[in-house]
A and B are shown apart, each in its own frame.
Chain A
Protein backbone atom coordinates (compact mmCIF):
# COMPACT_ATOMS: atom_id res chain seq x y z
CA UNK A 1 0.00 0.00 0.00
CA UNK A 2 1.07 3.60 -0.49
CA UNK A 3 3.29 5.19 2.12
CA UNK A 4 3.12 8.61 3.68
CA UNK A 5 3.14 11.28 1.00
CA UNK A 6 4.39 14.79 1.61
CA UNK A 7 4.08 17.64 -0.83
CA UNK A 8 5.89 19.56 -2.02
CA UNK A 9 9.30 17.92 -1.66
CA UNK A 10 11.20 21.17 -1.97
CA UNK A 11 10.20 24.75 -1.36
CA UNK A 12 11.96 28.09 -1.39
CA UNK A 13 10.30 31.02 0.34
CA UNK A 14 11.24 34.54 1.28
CA UNK A 15 11.38 35.87 4.83
CA UNK A 16 8.01 37.13 5.97
CA UNK A 17 6.02 34.88 3.68
CA UNK A 18 3.88 32.02 4.83
CA UNK A 19 3.93 28.40 3.70
CA UNK A 20 1.59 25.41 3.82
CA UNK A 21 2.88 21.86 3.73
CA UNK A 22 0.73 18.81 3.09
CA UNK A 23 0.82 15.26 4.37
CA UNK A 24 -1.28 12.31 3.23
CA UNK A 25 -1.04 9.46 5.73
CA UNK A 26 -1.12 5.75 5.05
CA UNK A 27 -4.66 4.60 4.40
CA UNK A 28 -6.40 3.74 7.67
CA UNK A 29 -4.01 5.71 9.85
CA UNK A 30 -5.71 8.30 12.03
CA UNK A 31 -2.73 9.88 13.74
CA UNK A 32 -0.46 12.36 12.01
CA UNK A 33 2.57 13.96 13.61
CA UNK A 34 4.89 16.64 12.34
CA UNK A 35 8.58 17.06 13.06
CA UNK A 36 11.19 19.65 12.19
CA UNK A 37 14.76 18.58 11.50
CA UNK A 38 17.66 21.01 11.45
CA UNK A 39 21.40 20.37 11.70
CA UNK A 40 21.59 22.26 14.97
CA UNK A 41 18.52 20.98 16.81
CA UNK A 42 18.04 17.55 15.28
CA UNK A 43 14.57 16.04 15.03
CA UNK A 44 12.02 17.96 17.08
CA UNK A 45 8.36 17.22 17.58
CA UNK A 46 6.01 19.95 16.34
CA UNK A 47 2.48 18.65 16.88
CA UNK A 48 0.24 15.65 16.59
CA UNK A 49 -3.30 15.23 15.31
CA UNK A 50 -5.75 12.44 15.84
CA UNK A 51 -9.26 12.40 14.39
CA UNK A 52 -9.03 16.08 13.43
CA UNK A 53 -7.99 17.15 16.95
CA UNK A 54 -4.59 18.36 18.03
CA UNK A 55 -3.66 16.23 21.00
CA UNK A 56 -0.04 17.20 21.55
CA UNK A 57 2.08 20.20 20.73
CA UNK A 58 5.81 20.73 20.91
CA UNK A 59 7.66 23.80 22.04
CA UNK A 60 7.33 25.94 18.94
CA UNK A 61 6.00 29.48 18.52
CA UNK A 62 2.45 30.15 17.46
CA UNK A 63 3.60 30.85 13.91
CA UNK A 64 3.57 27.10 13.49
CA UNK A 65 0.09 25.66 13.18
CA UNK A 66 -1.59 22.66 11.69
CA UNK A 67 -4.83 20.93 11.06
CA UNK A 68 -6.19 17.57 10.12
CA UNK A 69 -9.09 16.85 7.81
CA UNK A 70 -11.77 14.21 8.06
CA UNK A 71 -9.85 11.96 5.65
CA UNK A 72 -6.84 12.18 8.02
CA UNK A 73 -4.81 14.28 5.61
CA UNK A 74 -2.94 17.01 7.44
CA UNK A 75 -1.46 20.37 6.67
CA UNK A 76 0.96 22.49 8.60
CA UNK A 77 1.35 26.20 8.16
CA UNK A 78 4.20 28.49 9.07
CA UNK A 79 3.49 32.20 8.97
CA UNK A 80 5.94 35.09 8.88
CA UNK A 81 8.81 32.89 7.86
CA UNK A 82 12.22 33.41 9.39
CA UNK A 83 15.60 32.24 8.14
CA UNK A 84 15.75 29.80 11.05
CA UNK A 85 12.67 28.02 9.78
CA UNK A 86 14.76 26.50 7.01
CA UNK A 87 14.56 22.80 7.74
CA UNK A 88 13.37 19.39 6.67
CA UNK A 89 9.76 19.00 7.78
CA UNK A 90 8.70 15.43 8.33
CA UNK A 91 5.28 13.94 8.70
CA UNK A 92 4.58 10.58 10.32
CA UNK A 93 1.39 8.58 10.44
CA UNK A 94 0.22 5.72 12.62
CA UNK A 95 -2.96 3.99 13.67
CA UNK A 96 -2.87 6.12 16.77
CA UNK A 97 -2.66 3.74 19.70
CA UNK A 98 1.03 3.59 20.50
CA UNK A 99 1.78 1.85 17.24
CA UNK A 100 4.86 2.37 15.14
CA UNK A 101 4.97 5.54 13.11
CA UNK A 102 5.81 5.65 9.41
CA UNK A 103 7.48 8.72 8.03
CA UNK A 104 7.21 10.48 4.71
CA UNK A 105 10.21 11.71 2.72
CA UNK A 106 9.81 15.20 4.06
CA UNK A 107 9.55 18.68 2.65
CA UNK A 108 12.76 20.64 2.53
CA UNK A 109 11.97 24.28 3.15
CA UNK A 110 14.54 26.95 2.45
CA UNK A 111 13.86 30.50 3.61
CA UNK A 112 15.92 33.19 1.91
Chain B
Protein backbone atom coordinates (compact mmCIF):
# COMPACT_ATOMS: atom_id res chain seq x y z
CA UNK B 1 0.00 0.00 0.00
CA UNK B 2 1.02 3.57 -0.62
CA UNK B 3 2.54 5.26 2.42
CA UNK B 4 1.45 8.76 1.45
CA UNK B 5 -1.71 10.83 1.73
CA UNK B 6 -2.52 13.59 -0.72
CA UNK B 7 -5.59 15.78 -1.27
CA UNK B 8 -7.59 14.44 -4.22
CA UNK B 9 -7.72 17.72 -6.08
CA UNK B 10 -6.46 21.30 -6.10
CA UNK B 11 -6.89 24.38 -8.25
CA UNK B 12 -4.31 27.01 -9.08
CA UNK B 13 -4.43 30.18 -11.15
CA UNK B 14 -2.03 30.38 -14.05
CA UNK B 15 1.14 32.24 -13.10
CA UNK B 16 0.70 31.61 -9.40
CA UNK B 17 2.65 29.13 -7.32
CA UNK B 18 1.09 25.72 -6.92
CA UNK B 19 1.81 24.13 -3.54
CA UNK B 20 0.98 20.45 -3.41
CA UNK B 21 1.11 18.86 0.04
CA UNK B 22 1.92 15.27 0.89
CA UNK B 23 1.67 13.52 4.21
CA UNK B 24 4.04 10.63 4.92
CA UNK B 25 3.89 10.34 8.69
CA UNK B 26 5.28 6.78 8.77
CA UNK B 27 8.32 7.50 6.65
CA UNK B 28 11.51 5.78 7.74
CA UNK B 29 14.85 7.47 8.12
CA UNK B 30 16.28 6.07 4.92
CA UNK B 31 13.23 6.56 2.70
CA UNK B 32 13.25 9.15 -0.03
CA UNK B 33 10.30 11.25 -1.17
CA UNK B 34 9.72 11.18 -4.93
CA UNK B 35 7.30 13.19 -7.00
CA UNK B 36 5.93 12.22 -10.38
CA UNK B 37 3.16 13.70 -12.46
CA UNK B 38 0.93 12.26 -15.13
CA UNK B 39 -0.64 14.39 -17.79
CA UNK B 40 -3.79 12.87 -19.17
CA UNK B 41 -3.20 9.46 -20.75
CA UNK B 42 0.57 9.88 -20.87
CA UNK B 43 3.23 8.03 -18.88
CA UNK B 44 4.19 9.48 -15.49
CA UNK B 45 6.98 12.03 -15.58
CA UNK B 46 9.67 12.25 -12.90
CA UNK B 47 9.78 15.67 -11.22
CA UNK B 48 12.05 15.65 -8.21
CA UNK B 49 13.10 13.68 -5.14
CA UNK B 50 14.72 14.31 -1.77
CA UNK B 51 15.68 12.77 1.53
CA UNK B 52 15.66 15.52 4.14
CA UNK B 53 17.05 18.67 2.59
CA UNK B 54 15.02 20.94 0.38
CA UNK B 55 15.63 20.34 -3.29
CA UNK B 56 15.15 22.47 -6.39
CA UNK B 57 15.47 21.76 -10.07
CA UNK B 58 14.27 23.36 -13.28
CA UNK B 59 10.76 22.00 -12.80
CA UNK B 60 9.97 22.42 -9.13
CA UNK B 61 11.06 22.74 -5.53
CA UNK B 62 10.58 20.14 -2.83
CA UNK B 63 10.24 21.24 0.78
CA UNK B 64 10.48 18.48 3.38
CA UNK B 65 9.61 19.28 6.99
CA UNK B 66 12.26 18.81 9.63
CA UNK B 67 10.50 15.77 11.09
CA UNK B 68 10.10 14.44 7.52
CA UNK B 69 6.45 13.56 8.13
CA UNK B 70 5.25 15.78 5.31
CA UNK B 71 6.47 17.57 2.23
CA UNK B 72 5.31 20.14 -0.30
CA UNK B 73 5.97 20.23 -4.01
CA UNK B 74 6.09 23.78 -5.32
CA UNK B 75 5.58 24.72 -8.95
CA UNK B 76 6.68 28.35 -8.79
CA UNK B 77 4.75 29.70 -11.78
CA UNK B 78 2.06 27.26 -12.80
CA UNK B 79 1.01 27.11 -16.44
CA UNK B 80 -1.92 25.40 -18.10
CA UNK B 81 0.45 22.62 -19.14
CA UNK B 82 1.03 21.80 -15.47
CA UNK B 83 -2.53 20.46 -15.23
CA UNK B 84 -1.96 16.84 -14.28
CA UNK B 85 -2.20 14.25 -11.52
CA UNK B 86 0.72 14.59 -9.11
CA UNK B 87 1.95 11.57 -7.19
CA UNK B 88 4.01 11.65 -4.02
CA UNK B 89 5.87 8.39 -3.38
CA UNK B 90 8.18 7.24 -0.61
CA UNK B 91 10.89 4.81 -1.55
CA UNK B 92 13.45 2.94 0.42
CA UNK B 93 16.76 2.89 -1.45
CA UNK B 94 17.21 -0.82 -2.01
CA UNK B 95 19.67 -2.05 -4.58
CA UNK B 96 17.41 -4.86 -5.71
CA UNK B 97 14.37 -2.90 -6.79
CA UNK B 98 13.19 0.24 -8.51
CA UNK B 99 9.54 -0.54 -7.83
CA UNK B 100 7.23 2.43 -7.32
CA UNK B 101 4.04 2.22 -5.28
CA UNK B 102 1.62 4.86 -6.48
CA UNK B 103 -1.19 6.29 -4.39
CA UNK B 104 -4.18 8.12 -5.77
CA UNK B 105 -2.35 11.42 -6.23
CA UNK B 106 -3.59 15.01 -6.44
CA UNK B 107 -5.34 16.22 -9.54
CA UNK B 108 -4.06 19.76 -10.11
CA UNK B 109 -6.19 21.98 -12.33
CA UNK B 110 -4.50 25.17 -13.49
CA UNK B 111 -7.01 27.72 -14.74
CA UNK B 112 -6.48 30.89 -16.82
The distance from the CB of B27 to the nearest CB of chain A, in whole angstroms, is: 16
For A, the interface residue count at a CB cutoff of 8 angstroms equals: 28
Contact surface of A with B, Cβ cutoff 8 Å? 4, 31, 33, 35, 42-45, 48, 50, 55-56, 88, 90, 92, 94, 96-106, 108
Given the complex of chains A and B, what is the CA–CA distance between A112 and B46 in angstroms?
Answer: 33
Answer whether A98 and B44 are a contact pair too, CB < 8 Å, given A33-B100, A42-B102, A43-B102: no
**Contacting residue for B98 out of A90, A101, A105, A108, CB 8 A:** A101
Asked if A43 and B44 make an inter-chain contact with CB atoms under 8 angstroms apart, the answer reads yes
Instruction: Tell me if A's interface is mostly helix, strand, loop or mixed.
Output: strand
Which residues of B26-52 have CB atoms within 8 Å of chain A's CB atoms?
A: 32, 34, 41-46, 49
Asked if B34 and A100 make an inter-chain contact with CB atoms under 8 angstroms apart, the answer reads yes
Minimum CB distance partner of A46 in chain B: B99
Asked if B93 and A42 make an inter-chain contact with CB atoms under 8 angstroms apart, the answer reads no
Given the complex of chains A and B, what is the CA–CA distance between A25 and B96 in angstroms?
Answer: 18
- Neighbouring B residues of A56 by C-beta, 8 Å: 96-97, 99
Minimum CB distance partner of A96 in chain B: B98
